[in-house]
Chain A
C-alpha cells in the first residue's frame, strides 16, 4: 500500500477545519501532525467504508468493503478523548505491514484500566471504582469479564457526553444508543444470548407514555445503581431490580437529581425548581416544583378562604 500524498494534504486541511477539543489543547502542533501522518497509513483503509489496495498476486488494484467493526471515523476519532494517540500506540506495530499477519487478530486488546488505572490525569473519573462497580453488574455476572468496557464504549470515538450545560436530549440519545445497540438489535444481542426476547418496547409494556420515557430518560436511570464518586453508575442491575415506582422520579425528591440532572446542572448554583422554563427541556410531572407557583397558589387560596370566612362570620353576626 502506498502513502497517498493527496490524502495527507486533505487530512491536514481537514484537521485545520476541525474543532479538535481535547487533543490540540494538550499536544504541541508538531507532535499532533506526526500523529496525523502516522495514522494516515491506517485510516487510509480503516477510515473508510470501502478501501482499495494493489493486489500483487493478481497485479491489479482491488476495492473491498471494510469490516464495519473495523471502521474508524477520523472526525470522531480526532474529537474523542483518545484523538491524540497514534494507532500503533495501542495496536501492535506489526500492523504497519500490509497485508496484516492473520495471527494479529489474536492480539490481546488493552482495556481501559491498562492505561487509566493509577493515572493522575484521569483521576476524576475514578476508573478503579468504575471497574469495581462494573464487575458487580448483571453483564459481568452473566458473561464474566469478557463483557468489558469495549462492549459499550468505543475507544475510537469515546467522548464524555454528560457534563454541565450539555444538551440533555443529546445525552439521553447518546447513552441510550449504547444500550439499544444490543438490546434492540438481534444481531448484536445474539452475540451474548440465544433468547429472542430482546425487543425493548415489548419489555416495557407496563410503562405509560413509553416512547416519551425512552426519549426523556437514560436506560441507566432506572437500570443502574448510583455510586458516590462516579459520574455515572456502572452497576447495571438485573431487570427485576429496575425502578418501577413512578414516585421515585415523579416527586420533589426525584432520583433524577442524583442521576442525569447531577451531571447536567450545577446544584450549588441553581436550584432545579428555579430553572426558567424557557431554557429547560426537562419536564417531569411532579418534579421539579416551582416554589413561587406553589406558595403563590397556596397564598391565593388562603386569601379566598379568609374572605369567605370573614363573610360567614359577618353573616352569623348580622343574624343575631
Chain B
C-alpha cells in the first residue's frame, strides 16, 4: 500500500531550488576563478567569474538566512535534530541498504514519515552540510569578499591564505556532497520519485 505524504512545504521547495541553482553557478564560477588563464571556451573570463561569484555568494547567504529563520519558526526544525545514541549503527544500516538491500529490492530499514522524512544517514549529512559546511563556506566567502578587513596574520599564518583554504576545502566538500546528493535522489521506488516530490511536495511511500 502506498501512502502519499506531504513532506516538503512550499518554502522548503523554493529554498531548495534557489540553493541548488546558486550552488551550481558558484561551483562553476569558482572553478573559472581558480583555473583562470586557460583557453577553454567553457571558461568564463576571470573578471566576469568574480562578479558572478560575488553576486551569487550574497544571494546564497540571504537564502541560507531565509532557511535558518523558517526552519526555526516552523516544525521543519525537528528533522534536523540528530540522535547521537545509535547514530553510527543506524547510518551503517542505511549505507548497507543502499549498497546491497536496495539492489535486492529489500525494504528500507528506516521508513519515511511526516515526522521522520530523513533517514539517519540523510539527517547526519544534511545537518553537517547546513550547520557546519555552509556556515564555514559563507563566513569564509564573505571574509574573502572584504579581504582588507581580514587580519594580516593569525599567529604564524597568513589569514588570507587560511581563509581561502577553508573556503576551497568547504566548497570542494559541497561539490562532492552535491554529486552524491543528486545520485542518491535516484534511489527511490523509481529514479524520478524524489525529484518529483521535491517539486510537488508530495511523496509516495
Contact = CB atoms under 8 A, between A and B. Distances in A.
Interface string A274-314: 00011011010111010001000100110011001001001
Nearest to A305: B179
Interface string B153-190: 10011101110110010001001100110010000000
Contact of B157 (A250, A277, A285, A286): A277
B46 A314 contact: no
A315 B35 CA distance: 36
A203 interface: no
A286 B35 contact: yes
Contacts of B34: 285-286, 289
Max chain A C-beta neighbours (<10 A), residue from B104, B147, B156, B161 = B161
Contact of B147 (A209, A281, A286, A318): A209
Contacts of A283: 158, 160-161, 164
B37 interface: yes
A246 interface: yes
Interface string B25-62: 00000000111111000000111001000000000000
Contacts of B172: 297, 300
A246 B175 contact: no
A251 B179 CA distance: 27
Contacts of B180: 304, 308
Contacts of B1: none
A212 B147 contact: yes
Contacts of A253: 37
B36 A212 contact: no
B33 A286 contact: yes
Interface residue SS majority, chain B: helix
A252 interface: yes
A208 interface: yes
Nearest to B161: A277
Interface residues of B, number: 34
A247 interface: yes
Given A280-B158, A286-B35, A308 B103 contact: no
Contact of A250 (B36, B98, B162): B36
A281 B158 contact: yes
Contacts of A286: 33-37, 46
A314 B98 CA distance: 11
A293 to B, nearest CB: 7
B148 interface: yes
Contacts of B165: 277
Nearest to B38: A251
Nearest to A277: B161
A212 B147 CA distance: 7
Interface in A176-226: 208-209, 211-212
Contacts of B104: 318
Contacts of B99: 311
A281 B147 CA distance: 13
Nearest to A206: B47
Interface of A: 208-209, 211-212, 246-247, 250-254, 277-278, 280-281, 283, 285-287, 289, 293, 297, 300-301, 304-305, 308, 311, 314-315, 318
